[in-house]
Amino acid sequence: MNNFFLTLHSISMCLVVGTLFLQSLTVVFRLRLKNQGEIDGAKNIQKRIHKFIYYPILAVTIISGIVLSLKVDVFSGGNWIFLKLGLLIILIIFGILNGKQIQADVLPKKYAMMVHIPIFLIGAGMIYLATIKPF
């Protein structure tokens, strides 16, 4: 059963990071559009992806992570899990910020263009911590 939750958690975590990464890139692409009809269409698609794909996948990731952590008892195995949880909180904040940026352009263009870089780095750090367990 642990393999099922590990697989589910790994796949859903990759989907969360991938969805956030692509959504932040589409925010940048939308900022470059000139036609209002295209902007509205892109915004509508972004809202639907964020609401119907990102949030459910995030819930699956968090629930499967909780179940997996209780089954394996990762909290007694080292301090890497606390850093991973901290990175998870930052990633959730980026997801909320991404959702706000989709609703209304709250970030200036130069900052909106840089959101996908920390999303990628945080996702890579979380995968590194979970596989290597350095401390």
- Summarised one tens digit per residue, pLDDT across range 30-49 is 888 889 999 899 999 999 99
Distances (CA, A) of 100 to 16, 36, 43, 82: 17, 19, 11, 27
Which residue segment(s) compose the domain that 101 sits in?
Answer: 2-132
Q: What is the pLDDT of residue 91?
A: 92
Q: Which residue has the tokens 């870089």?
A: 117
The model carries a pTM of: 0.85
DSSP structure string for 73-102? TGGGS-SHHHHHHHHHHHHHHHHHHHHHHH
Q: What is the pLDDT of residue 64?
A: 95
| Residue type for position 29 | F
Q: What is the pLDDT of residue 89?
A: 95
Number of independent structural domains in the chain:
1
- Predicted confidence (pLDDT) at residue 106 exceeds the cutoff of 80: no
